[in-house]
Amino acid sequence: MENTPLEWLALARGDLDRAGERRRDADWVAALWKDPRARVLVVEKGRTLVAGRTALVEVAPADAPPGDPWLLGVEPDGTPHFAVPGPLPEVEGAEPAGLRHVGALLGDRDSGLLTLAVALAHWHATHRFCPRCGTETRVESAGHVRVCPSDGSEHHPRVDPAVIMLVRDDDDRVLLARGPQWPADRRSILAGFVEPGESLEQAVAREVREEVGIEVRDVRYLGSQPWPLPQSLMLGFFARADGSTLLRPDSDEITDADWYSRDELTAAIGSGDIIAPGPLSIAAQLIMRWYGGPLPKMPDF
């Protein structure tokens, strides 16, 4: 049970057909854009329009700002969904919100649409020019590829893999720590980016060693979710402390590292001494798996 895959991850619920094999066909994409059912998610600085924080508010193509439409997916009944960057239109009953605030509240389809739209928006905004020759690239494949007109090179959206690991000791206590930039009461499990030439398991062991100075064994994968804030893919693991459990935090990356039993965590959250991650994050889902259910005082998200 404890090593079975995580069942619910807020940003890994998208279920639309991305039509990856057809989106290179510009005529097909243009026909989708003209489909009277077509809906457009407008994205501005990581935010879009929502109603009641639980549903996306999309507009018709005619009401979207001008710009390259990116195809997000097609529903089983053929309804296409696009995203376009630009100023958010005025829509009665709608308000702006970002993925961090509504990603866990939206339904499966809408969560997937916004996760992809925000990821594409960041990539397009930061990868306008060819990394080989510096020429401005043009958008193709309905927003999923950028092509250099000078040397013909194709560039695909970038995703940075990051490992996040719940480390337990042999007394089944969990390791929680605080990043130096975080509020004083915030705690989470350890995480870090995968380096070139490194397996995920090696990255887990290296990050734990670097951040708190202990070794781990029994590294087990439990699940992943995209984290386009701005461009990560979070890969979640359980691991066991191997040998000494004496924590020696690297003060550049970690402060306040400590072991918590379930009773100690319950008390620390209950008293307000620490705040655990919100349900949007894979960190919360890993901690809940270890804890055996929802954490006390799960914060609003």
Q: Which two tokens stand for residue 177?
A: 């720590």
Does residue number 262 form part of the binding site for Zn ion (CB under 5 A)? no
Strands (E), 65-130: 70-74, 80-85, 95-98
Does residue number 133 form part of the binding site for Zn ion (CB under 5 A)? yes
CB 221 within 8 A of CB 237: yes
- DSSP letters spanning 73-84: EE-TTS-EEEEE
Question: Which of 53, 132, 158, 297 is the binder for Zn ion (CB under 5 A)?
Answer: 132
Which lies closer to Zn ion via its Cβ, residue 4 or residue 150?
Answer: 150
Question: Which of 24, 33, 51, 135 is the binder for Zn ion (CB under 5 A)?
Answer: 135
Which lies closer to Zn ion via its Cβ, residue 135 or residue 266?
Answer: 135
Choose one: 43-51, 76-84, 130-138, 229-237; the region binding Zn ion (CB under 5 A).
Answer: 130-138
Instruction: Tell me how far, at minimum, the Cβ of 110 lies from Zn ion, in Å.
Output: 36
For 69, list phi and psi in degrees, rounded to 5: -80, 135
Which lies closer to Zn ion via its Cβ, residue 130 or residue 208?
Answer: 130
- Distance linking the first and last C-alpha atoms of the chain: 27
Among candidate residues 279, 209, 203, the one with its CA nearest the CA of residue 237: 203
Choose one: 1-9, 70-78, 134-142, 272-280; the region binding Zn ion (CB under 5 A).
Answer: 134-142
Does residue number 148 form part of the binding site for Zn ion (CB under 5 A)? yes
Instruction: Tell me how far, at minimum, the Cβ of 137 lies from Zn ion, in Å.
Output: 7
Helix, strand and coil content of the chain, in percent to the nearest 5, comes to 25, 30, 45
Binding interface with Zn ion (CB under 5 A): 130, 132-133, 135, 148, 150-151
